[in-house]
A and B are shown apart, each in its own frame.
Chain A
Amino acid sequence: MRRQGAARLGERLRGLRRAPRGAWLLAGLAASLAGGLWVARAAQVSAELVRSDPEAIAQDAGLFEAGVARGRPVYLRRCASCHGAGGKGDRTLGAPDLTDRDWLYGHGRVSDIEKVIAHGIRAPDRRGWNLAVMPAYGQLVPSATERVPPLSPDEIAAVTDYLLVLEHRPADAAQAAAGARIYAGKGGCFDCHTPDAKGDPAIGAPNLTDRVWLYGDGGPTAIAYSITHGRQGLCPAWAGRLSPLRIREAALYVYALSHRAPRSKVR
């Protein structure tokens, strides 16, 4: 059986050898031409991707889809270890969910995402997002940069209750009232999270009223832990390690995790 198969293969190969040399040459030229065209097209798409205004790409179906497809392997290699293959994040690490349109830094535009990928968050890159750190109020010196006093366990519990009340969750009303005073006064929480606790995307201070939690389950224990021990998550800066094209592609992929593809080409 095997011998017959080998014989048939040999016969076919001999048949191919009998084909005129011109046919081989033409086939080779056609293959080279096709390969060249493919490379040229890929280079053209690459050039368009890096040349375009990042926000404009999000309106251009063809370019957007090409960028997203190319961005997936970049994301899986560089970002998925923290944010997960599906982009759902990891609350044990404080890696945000990238699929929910809740953006800590900036407003979720392609250019905002690109900036985070290129220059990072609290990474050693002066062009990154490095403005704020959540103080550890359960330490003698809560912050190395901000002059805020430590809070007592009772005060931390009160602020925790206040944050629960902001999300309409059950909490001790009297404690929450005391927590509100600490939030707006001694603790200085309002300075980053804003007086209405809606957060500030310019410095990555989370919205404390929306039930989206970066660390833990958002329960009283996890909230008190964050206040006591502070938080300062980090996202590496990839500028210099990834080309501008790869950074743009990864940004488009991350953008696509929470946005639908545009319907038509607008340009």
Chain B
Amino acid sequence: MTADPTISNIWDFSRVSVRRSLALMAAGAAVGLALAGYSLFTAQSTTTLFVPAEDVALVNQQPIARADYYAQLQASFRTDFAHTTPAQRRKVLEDMIREELFVQRGKELDVAAADPDVRSATVNAVEQMAAADAITAEPSDAKLRAYFHAHADKYEQEGVMTVRDMLFATAADGAAAARALRAGEPDAAVLARLRGRDSGKETGQDFYFAAKIHLGNELFDTAAALPSGGVSTPVPQADGVHVLHMLKNTAPQPIAFETARPQVLQDYRNERVRQATVQYQGFLRKRANLLVAKDLR
């Protein structure tokens, strides 16, 4: 018995062989088909017969993420996956499938068109998606510094004052009190001698915003202009004549960039989010077919 020379010769690479070419081509085609088939049935966004590794189920091709499943399991039973029973796992999975089915049905029924809660949640979710890119982009130090310098007025330490507001019955008493205080007479002595009283509006240190509320605009403006140790001119008001004695006045101070950096970063991001949201809205309006009633144009 002798070997078939045509078969024995196909692996002789020093000669041209039609059979070998066909065999290699067929093998290549088979590998290509296998790869294409595998990709087709495992790729996302196509009909697939397999649940991807990162998901626990597909509901009408819509994945239920494994991470969400574990989180839900943990939230429901206050324990990690390893310590849950098969019944608990099944229950959570069934609940999540049910939710997905209802969400999908809700889309089919266009629930968002009628339900204000769904509309609001949808708007919120889309806004968040638009903002997310702005949040993840990390600004450079130079950008942050530029933002800080452009908005320097936002980064100030609030002013602090300790002021005494004294009230007198007449303008003459008020003027005499101001003179005495400037001359260094103690507050208590001046109040006793001129029958004045502390208005009680200010007690101890206050931030400027608080002092403004306590004193009112007119008295606050007068007080803020006083240096530490200064005494105001009498300020007549409905309840009497006020004389302010500024014990300590620390004007608003600019905050250094390094100190304000977290706040600057947050403000910068907020600004980027605002811009991103406006741009996104512009994009949506641009591509929308929008008709407005004549009387509201």
B81 at the interface (CB under 8 A from A): yes
How many Å lie between the Cα of A152 and that of B135 in the bound state?
Answer: 34
Q: Which residues of A contact B157 (CB under 8 A)?
A: 228
Shortest beta-carbon distance, B117 to chain A, in Å?
14
| B205 and A92 form a contact (CB under 8 A) | no
How many whole Å from A60's CB to the nearest CB in chain B?
Answer: 12
Of residues 61 through 114 on chain A, the ones whose CB sits less than 8 Å from some CB of chain B are: 81-82, 92-94, 109, 111, 114
Known interface pairs A111-B71, A154-B204; A22-B11 also in contact (CB < 8 Å):
yes
Q: Which of B90-98, B124-132, B163-171, B180-188 is found at the contact surface with chain A? A: B124-132
Contact A55 B135 (CB under 8 A): no
Interface SS of B by simple majority: helix
Which A-chain residue is minimally distant from B56 (CB atoms)?
A51
Asked if A140 is an interface residue, CB under 8 A from chain B, the answer is yes
The reply to whether the CB of A218 lies closer than 8 angstroms to some CB of chain B is no
The interface residues of chain A lying within 8 Å CB-to-CB of B66 are 50-51, 244
Contact B53 A50 (CB under 8 A): yes
A25 pairs with B206, CB closer than 8 A: no
Q: Which residues of B contact A244 (CB under 8 A)?
A: 54, 65-67
Q: Is A51's CB under 8 angstroms from B207's CB?
A: no
Within 8 A of A (CB), among B173-214: 204-207, 209-210, 213
**Stretch from A121-129, A160-168, A182-190 at the B interface:** A121-129
Q: What sequence of 0s and 1s flags, for each residue 101-141 of chain B, a beta carbon within 8 Å of any chain A beta carbon?
A: 00000000000000000000000110111011001101000
Contact A124 B128 (CB under 8 A): yes
Q: Cα distance A32–B11 when bound, in Å?
A: 20
Q: Tell me which of A6-14, A169-177, A205-213, A233-241 binds B.
A: A233-241
The answer for the CA separation of A231 and B263 in the assembled complex, in Å, is 8
Q: When the two chains form their complex, are residues B205 and A152 in contact, meaning their CB atoms are under 8 A apart? A: yes
Decide: B81 and A139 in contact? CB cutoff 8 A. Answer: no
Known: A53-B82, A153-B205. A111 touches B132 (CB 8 A): no
Judge whether B209 and A140 touch: CB under 8 Å.
yes
The residue in B136, B261, B273 that gathers the most chain A C-beta atoms within 10 A of its C-beta is B136
Q: Kindly state the separation between the CA atoms of A109 and B81 in the bound complex, as whole angstroms.
A: 13
Q: A232, B135: Cβ atoms under 8 Å?
A: no
- CB proximity of A28 to chain B, nearest CB, Å: 11
Given A46-B53, A93-B261: A123 touches B209 (CB 8 Å cut-off): no
> Which of B124, B160, B207, B258 contacts A150, CB < 8 Å?
B207
Residue in contact with B263 in the complex, picked from A51, A109, A229, CB distance below 8 Å? A229
Distance between Cα atoms of A244 and B157 in the complex (Å): 43
CA distance A60 to B187 in the complex (A): 76
**26 residue pairs bridging A and B, Cβ less than 8 Å apart:** A20-B14, A22-B13, A48-B53, A50-B53, A53-B80, A53-B81, A54-B70, A92-B261, A92-B262, A93-B261, A94-B262, A115-B71, A124-B131, A139-B158, A140-B210, A150-B207, A150-B210, A152-B206, A153-B207, A225-B259, A236-B135, A237-B132, A237-B136, A240-B129, A244-B65, A244-B67
**B residues touching A (Cβ–Cβ < 8 Å)?**
11, 13-14, 53-54, 65-67, 70-71, 74, 80-82, 124-125, 127-129, 131-132, 135-136, 138, 157-158, 160, 204-207, 209-210, 213, 258-259, 261-263, 265-266, 269, 273
